[in-house]
C-alpha cells in the first residue's frame, strides 16, 4: 500500500508535467531515462551522459527515491583503475565536505532538480552535482555523487553507487547500484524529492607502462558491437512509498 503524501508542485519545468497544488495519493507513472555516449563510435573511449525525469499521473510530487539500479549495455567497458589513484570517500564528503576532496578525484558533474514543501510554501530548487571516484568496496568500483542545494532548501547529500555485474539479463553487462539518502528540509516538513537528474561522467588519463610506453585510458568505452534497435539500458527505481518502477530505453547504434 502506498502512503498519502501532502506534497504538491505549482508551475512548469522544462522536464516535468504541469503539477497542480492539491493533495492526492501519489502514483508513479514513469521514470524517463536519457543516456547517451558523447563519442558514439563502436569501441571508442567516451564520456557518458545520464538523465532521469520522474513523472506522476496525478501531477503531484513523486515520493522520494530510495534506491536505483542502472543496467548498462553488454560490452560497455568501465575501466576505473587509472581513476582510483586519487579518490574521495562518502565518509569524507559527509564529515569534512566535498571541498576537501582532491580535484583529481572528480570524474563528472551536472545538475539536479528537487522539490519540497516548506510549511505552506512549495519550492523547486536546482542542486549542483559533482561525481567523485571512490575507494573500492569489496573489490568493486565506487562512484560518489554529491548534490549540493543551498537556498531555499539547504541540502547536501551523497548518492553512493557501486559497480556490479548486472542481474538484468544477457543484454546488459554491468550495473550501477545506487543508494539514495533522505533529503531532509525543515522540522515538520516532508523530505524533499528528486524530480530530475542530469550528470556527465567520464574522463581520460595518460598511463605509463613499466616499459615507458604512454597510452590514453578512458573511464568508459562504447561496446564494440551494437544490437539491432540500439544499445539497451534499464533502470529499476524504488521509492519510499513502496513503489518500484522499471524503465527501459535504448541509445542509437553509431552511424555506419
What are the residues whose beta carbons fall under 8 Å from the beta carbon of 183, sequence distance 6 or more? Answer: 64, 114, 116, 153, 155, 157, 191, 192, 193, 194
As a whole number of angstroms, the distance between CA 71 and CA 211 comes to 37
pLDDT for 1 beyond 70: no
List the single range of 184-193, 222-231, 236-245 with lowest mean pLDDT. Answer: 184-193
Q: 137 in helix, strand or coil?
A: strand
- pLDDT for res 19: 33
**CB-count burial class (<10 Å; 0-12, 13-18, 19+) for 205:** middle
The label of the residue with cell 565518509 reads 91
- pLDDT for res 25: 47
Q: What is the percentage of the chain residues whose pLDDT exceeds 90?
A: 70
> Where do the structural domains in the chain lie, given as residue ranges?
29-55+62-246
Q: Which of 13, 61, 2 is nearest to 185 (CA)?
A: 61
Q: How confident is the model over 162-172, as pLDDT tens digits?
A: 999 999 999 99
∠ CA 217-52-118, nearest 5°, is 125
As a whole number of angstroms, the distance between CA 198 and CA 177 comes to 17
Going by DSSP bridges, is the β-strand pair 231-239/45-46 parallel, antiparallel, or unpaired?
unpaired
More confident residue, 138 or 121: 138
Q: How confident is the model over 10-36, as pLDDT tens digits?
A: 332 222 323 333 333 456 778 999 999
Mean local confidence (pLDDT), 127-144 = 97
Average pLDDT, the chain: 87
Tell me, letter by letter, the H, E, C secondary structure of 212-254: CCEEEEECEECCCCCCCCCEEEEEEEEECCCCEEEEEEEECCC
Instruction: Using pLDDT thresholds of 50, 70 and 90, give the confidence band for residue 108.
Output: very high
Distance of CA 252 to the CA centre of its chain: 21
Mean local confidence (pLDDT), 188-197 = 91
- pLDDT for res 26: 54
Amino acid at each position: 500500500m502506498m502512503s498519502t503524501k501532502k506534497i504538491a508542485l505549482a508551475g512548469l519545468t522544462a522536464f516535468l508535467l504541469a503539477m497542480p497544488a492539491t493533495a492526492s495519493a501519489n502514483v508513479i507513472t514513469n521514470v524517463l531515462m536519457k543516456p547517451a555516449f558523447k563519442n558514439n563510435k563502436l569501441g571508442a573511449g567516451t564520456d557518458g551522459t545520464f538523465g532521469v525525469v520522474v513523472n506522476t499521473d496525478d501531477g503531484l510530487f513523486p515520493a522520494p527515491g530510495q534506491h536505483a539500479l542502472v543496467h548498462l549495455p553488454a560490452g560497455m567497458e568501465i575501466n576505473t583503475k587509472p581513476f582510483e589513484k586519487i579518490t574521495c570517500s562518502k565518509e569524507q564528503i559527509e564529515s569534512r565536505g566535498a571541498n576537501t576532496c582532491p580535484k583529481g578525484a572528480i570524474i563528472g558533474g551536472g545538475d539536479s532538480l528537487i522539490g519540497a514543501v516548506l510549511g505552506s510554501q512549495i519550492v523547486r530548487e536546482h542542486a549542483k552535482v559533482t561525481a567523485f571516484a571512490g575507494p573500492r568496496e569489496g573489490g568493486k568500483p565506487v562512484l560518489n555523487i554529491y548534490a549540493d542545494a543551498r537556498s531555499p532548501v539547504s541540502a547536501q547529500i551523497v548518492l553512493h553507487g557501486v559497480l556490479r555485474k548486472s542481474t538484468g539479463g544477457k543484454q546488459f553487462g554491468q550495473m550501477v547500484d545506487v543508494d539514495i539518502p533522505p533529503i531532509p528540509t525543515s522540522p515538520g516538513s516532508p523530505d524533499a524529492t528528486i524530480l530530475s537528474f542530469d550528470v556527465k561522467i567520464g574522463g581520460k588519463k595518460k598511463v605509463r607502462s613499466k616499459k615507458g610506453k604512454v597510452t590514453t585510458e578512458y573511464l568508459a568505452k562504447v561496446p564494440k558491437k551494437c544490437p539491432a534497435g540500439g544499445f539497451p539500458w534499464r533502470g529499476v527505481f524504488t521509492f519510499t512509498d513502496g513503489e518500484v518502477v522499471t524503465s527501459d530505453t535504448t541509445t542509437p547504434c553509431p552511424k555506419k
